């Protein structure tokens, strides 16, 4: 079941991000809008688009979230492997995605302090930009 859902959510998320999907969605809304006078802009006519968009949005939230969670986990595994493989890297950073927001902010502040002042960062960034 997990493999089926993962494959299905990945495929649907991929297809939903294609230009053709956007064109189809715009076409549906355009056709719906054009048919307004034909149906007298009735409550049923409005209910059709409201119900359709609500259902699609509701389902897409779960499918896209699943695809994003999977992608984030894969990226995290790759980063953990890079940390593990580099001798100078600190292995303590492996798994920090499981820490609380406050703990992550504390680590971020310590790392920023270790890397120097804001002015030093700005000079480094300016130098990188000038190189381009």
Condensed to tens digits (0 to 9), the pLDDT of residues 60-103 reads 998 888 888 888 999 999 999 998 899 888 888 888 888 899 99
Question: pLDDT per residue over 100-113, tens digit each?
Answer: 999 999 988 888 88
Dihedrals phi, psi of 86, to nearest 5 degrees: -90, 125
Q: Which is nearest to 48 in space by CA: 64, 31, 23, 26? A: 31
Q: Determine the Cα–Cα distance for residues 121 and 62; give it in Å rounded to an integer.
A: 39
Residue 97 · residue 76 · CB < 8 Å = yes
Rg (CA), the chain: 24
Reported pTM: 0.62
Question: What pLDDT, on the 0 to 100 scale, is given for residue 26?
Answer: 96
Task: Pull the structure tokens for residue 120.
Answer: 């030093």
Question: What pLDDT, on the 0 to 100 scale, is given for residue 90?
Answer: 86
pLDDT at 31 over 90: yes
């Amino acid at each position: 079941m997990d493999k089926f859902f993962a494959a299905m959510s990945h495929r649907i998320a991929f297809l939903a991000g294609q230009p053709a999907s956007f064109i189809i969605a715009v076409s549906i809304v355009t056709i719906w809008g054009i048919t307004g006078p034909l149906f007298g802009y009735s409550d049923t006519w409005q209910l059709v688009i409201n119900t359709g968009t609500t259902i699609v949005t509701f389902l897409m939230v779960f499918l896209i979230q699943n695809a994003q969670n999977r992608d984030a986990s894969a990226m995290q595994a790759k980063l953990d492997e890079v940390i593990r493989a580099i001798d100078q890297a600190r292995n303590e950073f492996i798994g920090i995605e499981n820490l609380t927001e406050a703990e992550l902010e504390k680590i971020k502040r310590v790392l920023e302090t270790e890397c120097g002042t804001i002015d030093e960062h700005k000079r480094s960034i300016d130098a990188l930009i000038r190189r381009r």
